[in-house]
Amino acid sequence: MNGSIELMGMPVSISVTGIVVVLILVLLSVWSLGVSVERLVVLTRARRQSLRFARSVSPHLSQGRPLPAIEAAEKFPHSHVARVLSAGLSTFQQKSARGLAPTEVIAATGRALERTTQQVTAELNRGVGSLATIATTSPFIGLFGTVIGIVHAFRDIAQAGGAGGFSIVSQGIAEALLTTALGLVVAVPAAWMFNFLSPRIQGLSLEMESTSSELMDFFLEREGAAG
């Protein structure tokens, strides 16, 4: 069972295996596009909300008012900085209210900041690893289709017994070239987007680590002044 498609204006007969390979590559392309667009939206929203949150929370932190700072963080649920800051401030308030020793409060707050940073980083990276997988596997899937196309070409030559040789060979080669080209078309954008998104996620992760460090310094200074 074969299907026919157009390749650069030339009708190409493609086997069932070749059609399956093409469908797989098309699905991978759609998945790659969906992940890329969704992650771009998430990262852009996180960046914008974090900038707005930084402007709104600065007066509260400078005046040593943690509760208004926590309330301000709740207004920016998609901000990575707001989530880390809210986790640190909330933990500090809860542990302090329980009457724990300052060292225990600081240690618990540090653990909460670390957990939240790791959790948010994992959420930001969601789906990005699949782009690397698609970028590395798509050419091999296309190569598989290439091998199948060449096998079919030699099989058709053998069945034809040498009659119409070039036209038969060209059909198999066209099928092989189609899957190879499609594999590269799928792989290259996925690789570009992976290399584009990864440094930006790393940058947001560094911002969270910097926020955690500054918040810990704030708590240490506060405990020192209280002591």
How confident is the model at residue 200, as a pLDDT? 95
CA 146 vs. chain centroid, Å, equals 30
How confident is the model at residue 169, as a pLDDT? 64
Rounded to the nearest integer, the mean pLDDT of the chain is 84
Cβ-Cβ contacts under 8 Å for 33 (sequence gap 6 or more): 189
**Cα end-to-end span (Å), the chain:** 83
How confident is the model at residue 9, as a pLDDT? 46
How confident is the model at residue 123, as a pLDDT? 94
Residue the block writes with tokens 């390979």: 21
Q: What is the DSSP letter of 79?
A: -
pTM above 0.85, yes or no: no
> Which stretches in the chain have pLDDT values below 50?
1, 3-11
Cβ 69 vs Cβ 196: under 8 Å: no
Nearest residue to 141 (alpha-carbon basis) of 14, 3, 28, 11: 28
**Rg of the chain over CA atoms, in angstroms?**
28
How confident is the model at residue 51, as a pLDDT? 92
How confident is the model at residue 161, as a pLDDT? 61
**Which residues on neighbouring strands pair with residue 15, listed in sequence order?**
2
Half-sphere exposure of 141 (CA within 13 A, CB side): 25
Distance CA 90, CA 171 (A): 67
Q: What is the amino acid identity at position 110?
A: G
